Structure 1
Amino acid sequence: MSPDRPVSSDPAASRPVTLITGAAGGIGSALARTLAATHDLILSGRGGEKLDALCAEVGGRPLTLDLTRPETFADALAGLDRVTNVVHNAGVVDLGAVGEQAHAVWTHTLAVNTVAPAELTRLLLPTLRQERGTLVFVNSGAGLRANAGWGSYAASKFALRALADVLREEEAGNGVRVTSVYPGRTATEMQRKVRGQEGAEYTPGAFIDPQTVAATIAFVLNAPRDATLTDVSVRPGPPA
């Protein structure tokens, strides 16, 4: 807890409240399980049995958000009180050459991967400032280098990196920390989809374990207040 935050006699008030988007996915669910013992969790997704089961398992509060409709976020967030940290983890990917992808793919990808995090952040900034909290943007190696066939996804992730960089400068004086995390290929259902689009076999053991990425994000959130981890890349380690 920040020394600048008022001390409360209520034990629950001393625990950070962390909102995770894409919570039912591989990295999101691993992060929820990692943080459950020390954070109060708001787990966002499209709803459904998987999200409900995760909330029941970790004691999280479900938050249904349609990331393609940012105009609905304000109403969805109306019942929230404290939010200390936000982990923007949700994302979509569709591979294809620029000359082959219609504008609908670009619009959808940018809406979910960039516009939704920007609007959700805007709405939650007042409480993040009050809590002196942390914003984590789960980016991608594609946010550092754009390769052929990855145009729409890389563009959304480059824009997400710019959003984080701008927020870091704008909110430093308000005590809000901002970190971009760049995982390499991670063993998730999204990666299974990507491998299918690449016409390649999906072998989970060849990729980073989602729990490893979750542990990295947890380290960022729990880092001492005298430091901000601005950019963290997570790459596969050497063979065991």
Structure 2
Amino acid sequence: MATHLITGAGSGIGSAVSQRLLDRGDTLWLLARNAGRAKELAERFPGARTVVGDLSEPARLSWALEKQEQPETLDSLLHIGGVAELSPVAESTPALWNASLAANLVAPAELTRLLLPQLRQSRGHVVFVNSGAGLRANPEWGAYAASKHGLKALADSLRAEETSAGVRVTSVYPGRTATPMQEKIHRYEGRSYDPEQWLAPADVAHTVVCALDLPRGAEVTDLQVRPKS
């Protein structure tokens, strides 16, 4: 039975991954942005533990974790939570840039730093659920794509630094996925939203779990997942 700490468990891909791991008997620690959200997650995933910490305030994560119980060892840290705010570069304010970078890049870096001792102890696995935007940038996706390109750099650096400790690092790059975030993006783009056109969160979750279950002698570094047209 493995132990996982997961961000973004409240919806979409994070929820699908959490349910899949819980169903097979693994131990879950779910990061929640506040106490109310922690209660919701505990009710949705019976038996899971919760930790309160806001990804939008990465500088406060260390303080928050110090005040709470943490897992003694971690088999995986799954970075799935994040935000997507679209805007042309000409209209993107520092507040928008800072919010995107904080939640999508700085918070995963800080959470990884704080939990590396537990990951090293169990020769664990860090998974970054990135995005197709982490490999290419389209119009009006500048801040989001920049944060996701940075997340790829973080993963690559972490892999090179921690391989001697036995820590594996995987980046997963899903295409558009049928999540509440995707519905919000469609509204911004002024397009009708048909979830059947896009990847199912369960399919991305299957990809993540396959990477986790790979035998110890191998490591998946980068995985792209696209909807079947």
Answer whether contact 2:133 2:145 (CA < 8 A) is retained.
yes
* Distance in 2 separating the partners of 1:143 and 1:25: 21
* Distance in 1 separating the partners of 2:108 and 2:225: 21
Which moved further from structure 2: 61-70 or 170-179? 61-70
* Distance in 1 separating the partners of 2:84 and 2:17: 21
Cα distance, 1:147 vs. partner?
0.8
1:150-199 Cα shifts (integer Å, max 9, x gaps): 00000000000000000010000000000000000000000011001111
* Distance in 1 separating the partners of 2:65 and 2:213: 24
Cα distance, 1:76 vs. partner?
2.8
Cα distance, 1:60 vs. partner?
0.8
1:128-164 Cα shifts (integer Å, max 9, x gaps): 0011000000100000111111000000000000000
* Residue 20 (structure 2) aligns with: 34
* Residue 19 (structure 1) aligns with: 5
2:46 matches 1:55: no
CA RMSD after TM alignment: 1.4
* Residue 8 (structure 1) aligns with: none
* Distance in 1 separating the partners of 2:35 and 2:115: 24
* Distance in 1 separating the partners of 2:98 and 2:225: 28
For 1:149-228, what aligned pairs fall within 5 Å after superposition?
149-228=140-219
In structure 1, the residue corresponding to 2:91 is in which secondary structure? coil
Answer whether contact 1:29 1:54 (CA < 8 A) is retained.
no
Which moved further from structure 2: 117-126 or 62-71? 62-71
In structure 1, the residue corresponding to 2:89 is in which secondary structure? coil
TM value normalised by structure 1: 0.89
* Residue 104 (structure 2) aligns with: 113
2:92 matches 1:89: no
For 1:140-155, what aligned pairs fall within 5 Å after superposition?
140-155=131-146
* Residue 138 (structure 1) aligns with: 129
* Distance in 2 separating the partners of 1:137 and 1:211: 17
2:60 matches 1:72: yes
In structure 2, the residue corresponding to 1:228 is in which secondary structure? coil
* Distance in 2 separating the partners of 1:99 and 1:62: 40
Q: Tell me, which stretches of 5 or more residues in structure 1 are unaligned?
A: 1-14
1:54-96 Cα shifts (integer Å, max 9, x gaps): 4333421111111122232223323212222101001111111
Cα distance, 1:51 vs. partner?
4.9
Answer whether contact 2:41 2:50 (CA < 8 A) is retained.
no
Relative to 1, partners in 2 of residues 1:222 and 1:76: Cα closer, same or farther, differing over 3 Å? farther
* Distance in 1 separating the partners of 2:106 and 2:185: 22
* Distance in 1 separating the partners of 2:224 and 2:52: 29
* Distance in 2 separating the partners of 1:99 and 1:75: 36
- Percent of pairs with identical residues: 50
- Output the amino acid matched with 2:208: I
Cα distance, 1:97 vs. partner?
0.7
Q: Tell me, which stretches of 5 or more residues in structure 2 are unaligned?
A: none
In structure 1, the residue corresponding to 2:42 is in which secondary structure? helix
* Distance in 2 separating the partners of 1:201 and 1:121: 37
Answer whether contact 1:139 1:160 (CA < 8 A) is retained.
yes
Moved over 6 A (4+): none
TM value normalised by structure 2: 0.94
- Output the amino acid matched with 2:19: R
